[in-house]
Chains A and B, each alone.
Chain A
Amino acid sequence: MKKYIYIFKSELMTNLQYIFDIIVGFISYCIMIFIFFNLWKYIYSDPSELINGYSMGQMIWYVIVTEILWMSLGGRQLSKKICNDVRSGNIAYNINKPYNYVGYILFSHMGLFLLKFILLTILGVVLGLIFLGSFPNISILSIVLVLISCLFATIINILLITTIALISFYIEDANPFYWLYSKVILILGTIFPIEFFPVFLQPIFKYSPIYVVSYGPAKLFVDFNWNSCIEIFILQGAYLILSILLSNFIYKKGVRKLNVNGG
């Protein structure tokens, strides 16, 4: 465990050096929130109106949270790195190292994520307060639970992306698969809560990764209740186990294929 913490720390330190670049990149985040604020303000004719069960404030806080999760994830970068590792054969060097490749990827990427996540969260809260002038009615304990579910959401997300990117063992370029995954999460899981989609799609969404990596934590934040909290943690737990198994399975199989081919 110590070595993973070291990997995490060194990655975090490296990224601290580029803090200025990261902060400037956050302007994009502000713009997105600004656009959504204007969009929903136009659509909600008065603030007390509910659309699909959401008030205007809830809609905007929902997007603030999902966009934090989305933008601090850095999924494309991750997928590119893994695809390159596989294609260039770099991954072969990792086989002999005394750590698990998937673990290495997870912890090194968490270093990057956590830094962005903390900064974006501060930014998101400030933006929400400026635009809306109010904060969701939520207890400290619930906030802690939301943060934990955000953490789980990201770990699952990283592991799923790792699984997808490791398909590169079998086909030339797995980036299109990542692309497809990211589009699904972005279009179906970030902009609107599940309730905005046709009723017949909603059960499918509920058991898809959208629910655990994006919708769940955000919904919990804007409308906390213990039932959905427990439900989300159960689903996240199941997805966590599934994604650990999947990513390690495809890595081990892929490496064996690499060995047969002689790297």
Chain B
Amino acid sequence: MLTEVKNQIKVNILSTKYALEREMLNKVTFVSNIIFMILNNASFIVQWVILYAIKDNIGGYSFKQVLLLWGLAAMGYGVSRFFFKNAFNLSDMINTGKLDNYLVQPKNVLLAAITSDVEVSALGDILYAYIILLIYGLSLKSFLLFTLFGITAGFILASVSVIFSSLAFWFGRVEVISNTLNSIMTNFATYPEGIFKGIIKILFYTILPLGFASYLPVQIMTNFNIYNLLVVIFIVLLFIGLAFLTFYKGLRKYSSTNLMNARV
């Protein structure tokens, strides 16, 4: 069992490494992709500087907390897009029969599929996140918690995308729906929870689990609470489990390329 897990992780790391090497073939594009992403994220600071010049508390967050929120959002986005890029193309892979090659390998199909490519600009997001952490205040504790929550957020975002993309097994073209959901999560992720009221808050703790990906972590980092930390970890595991469950349930309906060929 343990060797099996070890071998599985080894293959996924190798796969990510090779995909990264492929992207690094063109050094100029590689570096500029990363730099542009950092600048891109940084440009939005303008918005918050102006908003906090008007009011020093927005949605219950101080400027520092908004920075933290931004950092965590970038980290979660970066981790999910870098390590699991194809979790965000999964419905297309399902519809065009790209799972065939992974299905004949004695490894986990879902992991093989989603780790088979990397998004280079996502490295820019991760770097940016740590720059934000430096501005926020770097300590061993904040570094460790920030890294942990970045990873958990990445897992949550990837899992949610896998769950919705897997609907492609049943309904075919669901890219529009999964893409929209992913972009909604990205849009909301950088605004303080406190400005929203009502139903939307319920969504944050269910199908758009930003509550667990960003809001609760920000709260834990400003006001440490072991109980909340355990909640976050439990929820992450729950979402990962749900992602595997949906995917493997759908895999029984996988039709390889036959659907496309038969389309008249």
- CB-based nearest B residue for A21: B176
How far is A43 from B58 in the complex, measured between Cα atoms in Å? Answer: 7
Is chain B's interface secondary structure helix, strand, loop, or mixed overall?
helix
Q: A176-B36, A183-B40 are in contact. Are A39 and B180 (CB under 8 A)?
A: no
Of all A-B residue pairs in the complex, the 7 with the closest CB atoms, nearest first, are: A42-B195, A38-B195, A24-B176, A27-B180, A183-B43, A187-B43, A187-B46
Residues of B within 8 A of A32 (CB): 187
B58 and A39 contacting across the interface, CB-CB below 8 Å:
yes
Q: A42-B58, A43-B54, A176-B32 are in contact. Are A187 and B176 (CB under 8 A)?
A: no
Ordered by A's residue number, 9 sampled pairs between the chains whose C-beta atoms are within 8 Å are A20-B176, A25-B176, A34-B200, A35-B187, A41-B195, A51-B54, A176-B36, A191-B47, A196-B50
B46 and A188 contacting across the interface, CB-CB below 8 Å:
yes
- The 0/1 profile, CB within 8 Å of B marked 1, for residues 194-224 of chain A is 0011000000000000000000000000000
Residues of A within 8 A of B47 (CB): 187, 191-192
The answer, yes or no, to whether A28 is at the interface (CB within 8 Å) is yes
The answer, yes or no, to whether B228 is at the interface (CB within 8 Å) is no
The answer, yes or no, to whether A31 is at the interface (CB within 8 Å) is yes
How many residue pairs between the two chains, A and B, have CB atoms under 8 Å in the bound complex?
Answer: 56
- CB-based nearest A residue for B180: A27
Q: A35-B188, A38-B197, A39-B191 are in contact. Are A24 and B58 (CB under 8 A)?
A: no
Residues of B within 8 A of A101 (CB): none
Q: A24-B176, A187-B43, A187-B46 are in contact. Are A38 and B196 (CB under 8 A)?
A: yes
Q: Which of A32, A35, A51 has the most CB of B within 10 A?
A: A35
How far is A179 from B40 in the complex, measured between Cα atoms in Å? Answer: 9
- The 0/1 profile, CB within 8 Å of A marked 1, for residues 50-87 of chain B is 11001100110000000000000000000000000000
The answer, yes or no, to whether B183 is at the interface (CB within 8 Å) is yes
How far is A39 from B200 in the complex, measured between Cα atoms in Å? Answer: 14
Residues of A within 8 A of B36 (CB): 176, 179
Q: A188-B46, A191-B47, A192-B50 are in contact. Are A42 and B180 (CB under 8 A)?
A: no
Residues of B within 8 A of A183 (CB): 39-40, 43
- The 0/1 profile, CB within 8 Å of B marked 1, for residues 14-57 of chain A is 00000011001101100110110011011100000001000000
- CB-based nearest B residue for A51: B54
- CB-based nearest A residue for B187: A31
Residues of B within 8 A of A27 (CB): 180, 184
